[in-house]
């Protein structure tokens, strides 16, 4: 079955420390992968996406993610976290439907807390 | 260029009432969709549309109706609201809805928070 898993519900990181948020997917073909961020009370903003090519992708706000086919993972990283990065982060994958179209399936999210 | 506009931002309903959440986009996007967001559940797809007159069900369609009479608008109807439909609803659109590409990166609205008592 096609699925997206974010194993960590909450993560707390000290300001200035590095960050890695995990995302695993289950899909038989080449996936199309996204990370979105949602600040409290706000909509979702695209951080970065992977469609093909270089497996290390750069996004906005200093984030990057690496696609590892062998591990079925697309982990999000940032070398130095800022207090403004506190938000909920969602991994998402395009899956094809029986209709012939593809739709975006989201993981359950990881809430990032940044401590002083 | 307003992007994706959702109205209302907040709504309180009583069980059994009906209402429509409005979604409009001004980007000439073919693909539009509705998600609901519940704590610990992420976003789940309710319905989607790949063009005027074409809609399909997502993961959690029960209790919701949609139609797409114009490219710009994609309203979500609750015919008889239930407490289980208390949620935050997001509308999202993209240029196309076919094979994944840069043309179908979703743009999200700001959300509509619905409470059903």
pLDDT in tens, B27-81: 999 999 999 999 989 999 999 999 999 999 999 999 999 999 999 999 999 999 9
CB–CB contact B40 A9 (8 Å): yes
Query: What tens digit of pLDDT does each residue of B11-32 get?
Result: 999 999 999 999 999 999 999 9
Q: Is B29 in contact with B12 (CB distance < 8 Å)?
A: no
Residue numbers in A near B104 (CB within 8 A): 94, 102
Q: Is the pLDDT of residue A84 over 80?
A: yes
**Which token pair is A101?**
């179209």
Give me the mean pLDDT over the B106-115 stretch. Answer: 94
Question: What is the pLDDT at residue A30?
Answer: 80
What's B104's DSSP letter?
G
Pairing of strands A10-14, A110-115: parallel
Q: Is A95 in contact with A103 (CB distance < 8 Å)?
A: yes
Contact with chain A for residue B54, Cβ under 8 A: no
In chain A, % of residues over pLDDT 70: 100
pLDDT band at A101 (very low <50, low <70, confident <90, very high): confident
Query: What tens digit of pLDDT does each residue of A36-47 get?
Result: 999 988 889 999
Choose the closest CB to A32 out of B31, B100, B109. B100
Q: Is the pLDDT of residue B87 over 90?
A: yes
Give me the mean pLDDT over the A87-116 stretch. Answer: 90
Q: Which residue of A has its CA nearest to B54?
A: A99
Give me the mean pLDDT over the A56-81 stretch. Answer: 96
Give me the mean pLDDT over the B104-113 stretch. Answer: 91
Question: What is the pLDDT at residue B99?
Answer: 67
Give me the mean pLDDT over the A54-59 stretch. Answer: 93
CB–CB contact B108 A43 (8 Å): yes
* CB proximity list for B25: less than 8 A, separation 6 or greater: B3, B4, B5, B32, B72, B74, B91, B93, B107
State the SS3 of chain A.
CCEEECCCCEEEEECCCCEEECCEEECCCCCEEEEEEECCCCCEEEEEEECCCCCEEECHHHCEEEEEHHHCEEEEEECCCCHHHCEEEEEEEEEECCCCCEEEEECCCEEEEEEC
Residue numbers in A near B100 (CB within 8 A): 32, 51, 94, 102
Q: Is A59 in contact with A37 (CB distance < 8 Å)?
A: no
Residue numbers in B near A103 (CB within 8 A): 33, 45, 48, 58, 97
Choose the closest CB to B48 out of A90, A103, A108. A103
What's B33's DSSP letter?
E
Closest CA to B90 of B57, B114, B61, B59: B114
């Amino acid at each position: 079955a096609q699925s997206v898993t974010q194993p960590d519900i909450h993560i707390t990181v000290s300001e200035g420390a590095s960050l890695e948020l995990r995302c695993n997917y289950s899909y038989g073909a080449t996936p199309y992968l996204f990370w979105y961020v949602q600040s409290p009370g706000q909509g979702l903003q695209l951080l970065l996406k992977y469609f093909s090519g270089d497996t290390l992708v750069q996004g906005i706000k200093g984030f990057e993610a690496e696609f590892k086919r062998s591990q079925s993972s697309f982990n999000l990283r940032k070398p130095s976290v800022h207090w403004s990065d506190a938000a909920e982060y969602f991994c998402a994958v395009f899956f094809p439907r029986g209709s012939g179209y593809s739709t975006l399936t989201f993981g359950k999210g990881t809430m990032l807390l940044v401590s002083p | 260029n307003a992007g994706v506009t959702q109205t209302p931002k907040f709504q309180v309903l009583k069980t059994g009432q009906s209402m429509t959440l409005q979604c409009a986009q001004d980007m000439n996007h073919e693909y539009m969709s509705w998600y609901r967001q519940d704590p610990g559940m992420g976003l789940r797809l309710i319905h989607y549309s790949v063009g005027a007159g074409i809609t399909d069900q997502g993961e959690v369609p029960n209790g919701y109706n949609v139609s797409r009479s114009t490219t710009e608008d994609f309203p979500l109807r609750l015919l008889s609201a239930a407490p289980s439909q208390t949620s935050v609803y997001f509308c999202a659109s993209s240029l196309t809805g076919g094979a994944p590409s840069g043309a179908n990166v979703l743009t999200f609205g700001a959300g509509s928070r619905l409470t059903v008592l």
